[in-house]
Amino acid sequence: MTNPLPVLRASVEHLRTVIDDNDDLDPNASAYPEEWTIADTMSHIGSGATIALRSFEDVVNGREIEAGFNQSVWDEWNAKSPSDQVKDALVADEALVLALETLPQEKRATFHTKMGPFDLDFDGFVALRLGEQALHTWDVEVSLDPAATLSDDVAEVVLEGLARLIGFTGKANGETKEVTVRTTGPARDFTIVFSGDSISMVTKLHSGAVDLELPAEAFVRLVYGRLDADPTTSQANNTLNDLRVAFPGF
């Protein structure tokens, strides 16, 4: 697995640059999707970092998870002013990545936790946070720069764990079919399997043409429900539209 921690560090620093480089940033302006403001999105980043940090510390210190903690964090962040949601999210984002970076290597090797349906080692925990942090960063950035994309490094790490998410992000419609996908930057081949009430994804090398070819970062955004505009693809066809419907976002 690609080491996700330096990629998360880069994404945290990128978010700070996005915010700091926009002196006239309006926290009440729309982010992505339009019903979210930039402050709302930053609050998701900040509260998510706070919860992830507590979960991380609980695992490292062998503590039980405190009942009701997540809700208390959401209540705290929802009560913040929009400007404080933006400012404090950067602080919480940095605090989490710094804690991850300072964990000794021997403790990383034994780290293990469960988050919902996922069994995660240290790298898996970091990668899951990266997916949340980087996609919400894009939610903010694209409202300021419509040409914003995910970095190739982010796309590569998130791609590696995408199979475990796809069954939860996808909305099956009863169809039984397979969709072949090829990505670039990095180059990967996948098959998305629709089977009645479930959707899954397997890594499978394809020879010849595929149903859909697109940049890896666009495929990641597609699965996360964030690919509205027509990407740079070799086929702009009904397959892409069908997948947009199947992955409405979460």
**Which pLDDT does position 234 carry in this prediction?**
47
> Does pTM surpass 0.85?
yes
The answer on pLDDT for 214 being more than 80 is: yes
pLDDT tens digits, 154-205: 999 999 989 888 888 888 888 899 999 999 999 999 999 999 888 999 988 8
pLDDT tens digits, 11-27: 999 999 999 999 899 99
The answer on pLDDT for 235 being more than 70 is: no
Which residue type occupies 1? M
Calculate the alpha carbon distances from 45 to 123, 152, 163, 217, 246 in Å.
Answer: 19, 21, 23, 20, 25
Helix residue ranges per DSSP H, the chain: 4-20, 38-61, 69-78, 82-102, 105-110, 122-144, 152-160, 162-169, 216-223, 238-246
Predicted confidence band at 232 (pLDDT cuts at 50, 70, 90)?
Answer: low
pLDDT tens digits, 35-65: 999 999 999 999 999 999 999 999 999 998 8
Domains of the chain with CATH codes: 4-148 (1.20.120.450), 163-246 (3.30.1050.10)
DSSP secondary structure string for all residues of 92-137: HHHHHHHHHHHS-HHHHHH-EEEETTEEEEHHHHHHHHHHHHHHHH
